[in-house]
Amino acid sequence: MEQLKTSFDFEKPLSDLYQQIEKVKQIADKTKVDMSATLAELEEKASQTSQSLYANLTGWQKVQMSRHAERPQTLDYINLICDDFIELHGDRTVGDDKAIIGGFATINGQTVMVIGHQKGKNTKERQYRNFGMANPEGYRKALRLMRLAEKFNKPVISFIDTMGAYPGLEAEERGQGEAIARNLLEMSVLKVPILCFIVGEGASGGALGIGIGDKVYMLEHTWYSVISPESCSSILWRSWDFKEKAAECLKLTSEDMFKNQLIDGVVKEPLGGAHQNPEEMAGTLKAQILDDLKALKKINSDKLIASRIDKFCAMGVVNE
């Protein structure tokens, strides 16, 4: 990682070191003085700072990382992982929700159905994609595609990255809650393997609507929770000022989720986050996908469904 693409407040010590390195290089070029020893010392310090910084991120810092403007999204992963992709549109009832995309793709010659949230990279794209917040027709489109995958006996791969399902009045009028609940029911008994990856934000039912799988993974610097830290803070403290405290209380990081046996694993990100090296991140995801598909394809569909249901039923603790 030669230089931070965008710096958060907590990355300032590292950003300062990279600026120092750049200045030393400029001085060396201008004066023709050998500054290799100084550069080596600064680069070693930057490496140590990076390792320490990203290994000890707080819950709120992970939330910030998951929202990085240049973080790879579903379409980026599709382009980097898949050999080809044919996007399919519409729920055959209301319309085509741009916040959720999906279609058939091939990975190393294997045909799969890929579904995921797409937030957009700039203001125009984000408005077009409704900031990755799906309406009921988005979840119904996803369900239609999953049934299509089941019909042709193809695995389903979902990439989750949303602030939540769209909370507007029109979404509720068209049955937002029912659409998400229907997906939970149908995904739990789908006869083909399902792999789910939280690649950014995983908020509430908006994430769960395409998040029931045989294997559910979180990328290292992502979060998964029933509510965002800001919303939690506004409910408990009537202010967003306690969002950092809320993030810690919610136990929403990948490490917390894995520790509580709510996900199947954590996928390591490149140093500094997935946005620093999207190609490396995509390669890691591709290897994970191929390994899991190889194992899951050997399992009988009835056993696959039973195992999937048992896994989710075993979550949580009940005190009588």
pLDDT in tens, 214-271: 999 999 999 999 999 999 999 999 999 999 999 999 999 999 999 999 999 999 999 9
Q: Judge whether 49 lies within some domain.
A: yes
Q: 31-55: b or e for each residue (b if 16 or more CB lie within 10 Å)?
A: eeeebeeeeeebeeebeebbeebbe
Please report, as a single letter, which amino acid is at residue 44. E
Q: Judge whether 163 lies within some domain.
A: yes
Separation between Cα atoms, residue 133 and residue 179, nearest integer Å: 14
pLDDT band at 5 (very low <50, low <70, confident <90, very high): low
- What backbone torsions phi and psi does residue 185 show, to the nearest 5 degrees? -65, -50
Q: Residue 224 pairs with which residues in a beta bridge?
A: 202
- Which residue from 262, 270, 164 is spatially nearest to 219, judged by alpha carbons? 270
69 and 48 share one domain: no
Give residue-wise pLDDT tens across range 6-19.
578 898 888 888 88
In this structure, what CATH number is given to the domain that contains residue 173? 3.90.226.10
pLDDT at residue 250 in the model? 95
205 and 79 share one domain: yes
268 and 286 share one domain: yes
DSSP-H helix ranges across the chain: 12-31, 36-55, 59-66, 74-81, 123-128, 136-151, 169-173, 176-188, 204-208, 229-236, 243-250, 254-259, 278-296, 301-313
Q: Judge whether 243 lies within some domain.
A: yes
Q: What percentage of the chain exceeds 90 in pLDDT?
A: 80
Give residue-wise pLDDT tens across range 94-152.
999 999 999 999 999 999 999 999 999 999 999 999 999 999 999 999 999 999 999 99
235 and 216 share one domain: yes
Contact 192, 153 (CB under 8 A): yes
Supply the DSSP string of 195-262, one letter for each residue. Answer: EEEEEEEEEHHHHHTT---SEEEEETT-EEESS-HHHHHHHHSSSGGGHHHHHHHHT-BHHHHHHTTS
Strands 110-117 and 156-162: parallel
29 and 152 share one domain: no
Q: Give the largest Cα separation in the chain, rounded.
A: 76
Q: What is the mean pLDDT of residues 196-221?
A: 96
Separation between Cα atoms, residue 188 and residue 178, nearest integer Å: 15
Separation between Cα atoms, residue 317 and residue 131, nearest integer Å: 34
Lowest model confidence (mean pLDDT) among 29-33, 78-82, 187-191, 310-314: 29-33
Q: What is the mean pLDDT of residues 180-200?
A: 97
Which residue range is the domain that position 45 belongs to? 9-56
15 and 111 share one domain: no
- Chain-wide mean pLDDT for the chain? 93
DSSP state of 314: T
Place of tokens 């310090």: 45
What tokens appear for 278 in the block?
Answer: 């999207």
Give residue-wise pLDDT tens across range 150-172.
999 999 999 999 999 999 999 99
164 and 280 share one domain: yes
Give residue-wise pLDDT tens across range 40-84.
888 889 888 888 999 889 999 999 999 999 999 999 999 999 999
Q: What is the CA radius of gyration of the chain?
A: 21
- Which residue from 72, 68, 51, 77 is spatially nearest to 283, judged by alpha carbons? 77
Q: Judge whether 3 lies within some domain.
A: no
86 and 28 share one domain: no
- What backbone torsions phi and psi does residue 70 show, to the nearest 5 degrees? -100, 10
pLDDT at residue 3 in the model? 54
pLDDT at residue 1 in the model? 43
Contact 65, 72 (CB under 8 A): no
pLDDT at residue 38 in the model? 87
Q: Answer whether residue 2 shows pLDDT above 80.
A: no
